[in-house]
């Protein structure tokens, strides 16, 4: 997208007007709140420049910022922005407003000034504002020149104590090879990705969130215009939102009123529950209740049990997030979840409340004829499924080639694909014991090690909680979930932290195997 450019004939006039605007204080800052997606409280603001022209009214920054950059007016304008933002932040601090950082945008030209860090240090000292109350936002364009010099400048800001955000991430020069070296605090996801309805763009958002979390960075999403945007971003693990769903950019007076209204709402709102238990559930398990019946998602049984638990204890809330096991583990370690059910959660063994083992079996259509040296056609679960991982590990350990012929997250569709002869799949051993035993009538048969098939490792599933001694209510929720899994045929308990809990009868109506 290209910025609109002023008519070339008008540029000298506009340039002169801009010089006058700087001298006569026609420029002003508006502030757009940044909201914690979990608590819905203000955690920051971005200062956005506005030009209130005496004759033309408000002029868009898209019109005058490019001109300011071309004429070097961006240097004094940028300095004024920092001074004004610091002055306003100090004023709000003295008035007792919440101590939130105010972020200012720093242009490429301004960023590469040799004395920018000293300028900001002196401004902070003159205003008597703590450095952590100021943030700078840079775009990926600053890395188009000397990357090492850019990193040195960022380190100087870091030593000063100023918060650093990389703005419009995903639209510029970013390279993962140097992103890990940058001393930044936040990544800001460009609003184009958030506003888009394209599925691929949301995949990019998810990837950026995962990358940021792995680097220990906070994630700010711009362009949050609807409740759906906010909820979806929160579900992906994004921490902070900014956009018209919360507020347009506000004048300093209006922003102060906004803060006060948020404080009033926070103090007067009544929540039915004082505590929320955050539960993470995997996305790939399925239970077959009756031989030959349609599979029913095991998540349904677990969610139903959690709902019954919540109804039994109205003084608490239960929030549920469904995701791949590795992402649930990451969220648990980051403190975003309290309890998770996950597969193959290596490194969390000491935090397991109970674990179970699921044995797997190679399965194919009876009529499938496959030579021992032929590439194996595979019917697989999607990426992230431990069944898929075990299948590929086994084949790769044997040095056998493979190709993916069909993929589905739905075990019933996988079974149909295998029965149709599309390829070889991996199912829990219990599935064969229930409805797919080798018989004259069955279209599916197991493939054994004796026939040359590599041994499949079992899948370990566990309930994990970082709290060594959870409070009684959380312990009860964990036990409720444990009973659901205990009630599944073909799932073998490996370790239970509280052996006496096994004496409780199962609360689950599910009576057959995990998939």
Same-domain status, 353 and 432: no
CATH number at residue 121: 3.20.20.450
- Please, what's the largest Cα pairwise distance for the chain? 92
Same-domain status, 397 and 471: no
How do the residues of the chain divide into helix, strand and coil, expressed in percent and rounded to 5?
40, 25, 35
Same-domain status, 382 and 347: no
Per-residue pLDDT at 160:
96
Provide the pLDDT confidence category of residue 50 given band limits of 50, 70 and 90: very high
Same-domain status, 92 and 162: yes
Mean pLDDT of 218-238: 89
Number of structural domains the chain divides into:
3
Q: Does 305 map to a domain?
A: yes
Q: What is the mean pLDDT of the chain?
A: 82
Task: Report residue 353 as tokens.
Answer: 């409340």
* Secondary structure (3-state) at 287: strand
Helix (H) / strand (E) containing 189: strand 186-189
Per-residue pLDDT at 480:
92
Same-domain status, 174 and 105: yes
Is residue 272 scored above 60 in pLDDT? Answer: no
Same-domain status, 59 and 77: yes
Q: Does 195 map to a domain?
A: no
Is residue 367 scored above 90 in pLDDT? Answer: no
CB 249 within 8 A of CB 30: yes
Q: Does 204 map to a domain?
A: no
Same-domain status, 264 and 279: no
Residues 6+ apart with CB under 8 A from 12: none
pLDDT for 333-359, tens place per residue? 877 889 999 887 677 888 999 888 888
pLDDT for 156-212, tens place per residue? 999 999 999 999 876 655 556 667 788 999 999 888 888 875 666 777 888 888 888
Q: Does 193 map to a domain?
A: no
Does the pTM exceed 0.75? no
Q: Does 1 map to a domain?
A: no
Q: Does 202 map to a domain?
A: no
The whole domain housing 65 covers 8-184+259-268
Instruction: Burial-class residue 37 by CB neighbours within 10 Å (0-12, 13-18, 19+).
Output: buried
Q: Does 194 map to a domain?
A: no
Task: Report residue 438 as tokens.
Answer: 């080798």
Same-domain status, 114 and 137: yes
CB 69 within 8 A of CB 109: yes
């Amino acid at each position: 997208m290209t910025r609109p450019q002023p008519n070339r004939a008008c540029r000298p006039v506009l340039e002169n007007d801009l010089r006058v605007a700087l001298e006569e204080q026609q420029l002003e800052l508006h502030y757009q709140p940044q909201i914690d997606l979990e608590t819905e409280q203000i955690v920051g603001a971005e200062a956005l420049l506005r030009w209130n022209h005496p004759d033309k009214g408000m002029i868009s920054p898209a019109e005058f910022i490019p001109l300011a950059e071309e004429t070097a007016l961006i240097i004094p304008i940028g300095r004024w922005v920092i001074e004004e933002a610091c002055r306003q932040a100090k004023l709000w601090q003295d008035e007792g407003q919440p101590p939130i950082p105010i972020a200012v945008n720093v242009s490429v030209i301004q960023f590469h000034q040799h004395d920018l860090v000293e300028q900001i240090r002196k401004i902070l000292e003159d205003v008597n504002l703590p450095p952590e109350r100021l943030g700078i936002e840079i775009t990926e364009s600053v890395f188009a020149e000397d990357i090492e010099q850019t990193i040195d400048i960022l380190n100087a800001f870091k030593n000063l104590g100023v918060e650093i955000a990389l703005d419009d991430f995903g639209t510029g020069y970013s390279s993962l090879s140097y992103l890990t070296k940058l001393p930044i605090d936040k990544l800001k996801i460009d609003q184009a990705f958030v506003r888009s309805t394209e599925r691929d763009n949301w995949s990019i958002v998810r990837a950026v969130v995962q990358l940021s979390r792995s680097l220990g960075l906070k994630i700010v999403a711009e362009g949050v215009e609807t409740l759906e945007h906010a909820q979806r971003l929160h579900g992906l693990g994004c921490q902070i939102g900014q956009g018209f769903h919360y507020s347009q950019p506000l004048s300093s007076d209006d922003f102060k009123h906004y803060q006060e209204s948020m404080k009033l709402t926070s103090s007067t709102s009544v929540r039915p529950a004082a505590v929320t238990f955050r539960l993470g559930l995997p996305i790939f398990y399925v239970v077959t209740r009756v031989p030959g019946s349609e599979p029913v998602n095991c998540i349904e049984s677990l969610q139903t049990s959690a709902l019954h638990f919540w109804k039994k204890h109205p003084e608490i809330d239960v929030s549920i997030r469904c995701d791949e096991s590795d992402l649930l583990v990451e969220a648990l370690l980051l403190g975003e979840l309290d309890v998770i059910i996950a597969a193959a959660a290596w490194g969390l063994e000491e935090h397991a409340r109970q674990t179970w083992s699921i044995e797997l079996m190679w399965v194919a259509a009876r009529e499938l004829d496959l030579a021992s040296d032929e590439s194996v056609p595979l019917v697989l679960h999607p990426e992230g499924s431990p069944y898929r991982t075990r299948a590929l590990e086994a084949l790769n350990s044997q040095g056998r080639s493979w190709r993916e012929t069909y993929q589905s997250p739905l075990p019933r569709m996988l079974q149909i694909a295998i029965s149709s002869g599309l390829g070889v799949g991996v199912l829990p051993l219990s599935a064969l014991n229930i409805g797919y035993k080798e018989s004259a009538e069955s279209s599916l048969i197991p493939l054994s090690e004796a026939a040359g098939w590599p041994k499949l490792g079992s899948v370990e599933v566990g309930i994990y909680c970082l709290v060594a001694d959870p409070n009684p209510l959380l312990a009860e929720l964990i036990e409720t979930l444990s009973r659901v899994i205990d009630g599944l045929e073909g799932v073998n308990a490996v370790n239970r932290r509280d052996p006496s809990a096994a004496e409780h009868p199962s609360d689950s109506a599910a009576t057959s195997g995990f998939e």
